[in-house]
Amino acid sequence: MTYDDLNKYIIHGGRPLMGEVTISGAKNAAVAIIPAALLVDGVCRIENIPQISDVTLLFSILEELGARVRVLNRHTVEIDSRHVHSTQPSFELVRRIRASYYLLGALLGRFGKATVAMPGGCNFGVRPIDQHVKGFRAMGAEVTEGNLVQAVAKGGRLTGAAVYLDMVSVGATMNIMMAAALAEGTTTIENAAKEPHIVDLANFLNAMGAEIMGAGTDVIKIRGVKELHGGTYSVIPDQIEAGTYMAAVMATGGSVLVRNVIPKHLECITAKLIEMGAQVEEMDDAVRVSRTGPLRRINIKTLPYPGFPTDMQPQLAAALCLAEGTSIITEGVWDNRYRYVEELRRMGAKIQVDGKVAIIEGVSELTGAKVRSCDLRAGAAMVIAGLAAKGVTEVEEIAYIERGYDNIVEKLQGLGADIRRVTVSEEDAVPMAR
């Protein structure tokens, strides 16, 4: 164990969640839009930014490259990229965040070159960037791969091209879009990903003067422009954060009004919650989720949007541990997303994993235990299990959770949960027995 995470959550479970919670801006959109600000020869004002560690890291990276970052309030920032003087962010910062690969597309698009270390972040299987590289090469970049990825546009500027993605990749779709925004000519991305945060990035770039059509469909066209100008943009609400609080209501019972959401983005999640026995009421920018009766078993297969999101799989698995009957989850996106199962078993869950399939046999109750976060969404699943469990749960390695959830402890406390964040002294921070 390292001692860089000496904080943990202590949860006294067994309380239904009641009240209302306001959802923050989308992590997956913000971590692409902030690097995309490097494409803009001017000042961008970005609103509804989540206050999470991944965002703070990206601000540090941009400042190091020469951008000026002014935090105006908790959720609004101004980024001035007119004075960027480097196209090689520091290895130390980049390796701490998965989304750092978006710096490649943004820097390559604006300056015709970029050198970026391979990203870090959560580990749930192989994260190749071969589709990103394929796109850059199609647009005339020479790319060398190793611990550092180096990309240089021949002649100093990329050229529009047709790019067919061999597999649907959110990261590659966004990266190629950024690189193509200032390219010479038109770029077409076929078999593009359709997630809401892709549409959000396209809308941001268009607000700054880009010409991007078709985002949200499987064919995106980007007509390159000479430059992007400044402007103001507000990030969409976080689909996965909203889904996480909804899953928590399923696990604990109760009734919660989830505010600042786009209900359409949540349909793939709400459909499954209704199958599980939830009552869901949709409003213009809010949903109310309630559960009073027993939890019913369901089957889930994760798929690219508009399918059920892989980023919601662990949270729902935590709730299904308490459902009547046997649920089956098939992971259709990542290779290694069941590392949290061992932690749930510590709490009394009955789960068997075979490759990409998890079979969950519902139990009448979970019992509090010492558990750890293996990654961002697995950490959220531990919190949900702790909220529903009998007794006390300690969740360790919470830095993963705080990479993607803005103010999670305060938001849960506002719903009546008994959860607090404590700092552990180094003497007490002994690795858990495995």
Interatomic CA distance for residues 401 and 373, integer angstroms: 7
The Cβ of residue 318 has, within 10 Å, a number of other Cβ atoms equal to 31
The active-site residue, picked from 44, 122, 321, 374, is: 122
Distance of CA 64 to the CA centre of its chain: 24
Mean pLDDT lowest among 3-12, 54-63, 145-154, 231-240: 3-12
> What amino acid occupies position 367?
T
Q: Is the pLDDT of residue 18 over 90?
A: yes
- The SS3 assignment for 254 reads strand
Look up tokens 């469909």; give the residue: 217
Q: Is the pLDDT of residue 281 over 80?
A: yes
pLDDT at 120: 63
pLDDT at 1: 40
Look up tokens 């599980």; give the residue: 276
Q: Is the pLDDT of residue 433 over 50?
A: no
- The SS3 assignment for 430 reads coil
Mean of pLDDT over the chain: 94
Give phi and psi for 211, each to the nearest 5: -125, 90
Is the CATH code 3.65.10.10 the one for domain 7-24+237-423?
Answer: yes
Q: Per the confidence metrics, is the pTM higher than 0.85?
A: yes
pLDDT per position as a tens digit, 48-67: 999 999 999 999 999 999 99
User: Are 152 and 141 within 8 A, CB to CB?
Assistant: yes
Interatomic CA distance for residues 206 and 225, integer angstroms: 11
Q: Is the fold of 7-24+237-423 the same as that of 27-234?
A: yes
Band of pLDDT at residue 98, cut at 50, 70 and 90: confident
CA dihedral 189, 190, 194, 197 (to 10 degrees): -10
pLDDT at 14: 96
- The SS3 assignment for 321 reads coil
Residue 321 is among the residues annotated as catalytic for this protein: no
Q: From 273, 354, 268, select the one nearest 311 (Cα to Cα).
A: 268
- Domain limits, the chain: 7-24+237-423, 27-234
**Average pLDDT in the 269-275 region?**
98
Element (H, E) at 343: helix 341-346
pLDDT per position as a tens digit, 139-180: 999 999 888 899 999 999 999 999 999 999 999 999 999 999
Give phi and psi for 147, each to the nearest 5: -60, -30
User: Are 272 and 266 within 8 A, CB to CB?
Assistant: no
Mean pLDDT lowest among 34-38, 126-130, 149-153, 332-336: 126-130
Whether a cis peptide bond, with omega within 30° of 0, leads into 50 is no
**Average pLDDT in the 406-423 region?**
97
Tell me which of 430 and 23 has the higher pLDDT.
Answer: 23
Interatomic CA distance for residues 382 and 392, integer angstroms: 12
Tell me which of 433 and 30 has the higher pLDDT.
Answer: 30
Q: Is the pLDDT of residue 3 over 50?
A: no
Look up tokens 């990206």; give the residue: 58
Interatomic CA distance for residues 16 and 29, integer angstroms: 31
CATH number, domain 27-234, options 1.10.510.10, 3.40.50.11780, 3.65.10.10, 3.40.50.1980: 3.65.10.10
Query: Could you give the angle at which helices 376-388 and 239-252 cross, rounded to 10 degrees?
Result: 20
Interatomic CA distance for residues 120 and 374, integer angstroms: 14
Q: Of all residues in the chain, what percent carry a pLDDT higher than 90?
A: 89
pLDDT at 389: 98
Q: Is the pLDDT of residue 284 over 80?
A: yes
Query: Could you give the angle at which helices 53-65 and 27-36 cross, rounded to 10 degrees?
Result: 0
pLDDT at 122: 58
Interatomic CA distance for residues 78 and 102, integer angstroms: 19
Structure tokens belonging to residue 351: 């789960």
Tell me the helix, strand and coil percentages in the chain, rounded to 5.
35, 30, 40
> What amino acid occupies position 129?
I
Strand 299-301: give its sheet, edge to edge: 299-301, 326-330, 357-361, 350-354
pLDDT at 146: 84
Q: What is the DSSP annotation of 20-85?
A: EEE--B-HHHHHHHHHHGGGBSSEEEEES----HHHHHHHHHHHHHT-EEEEEETTEEEEE-TT--
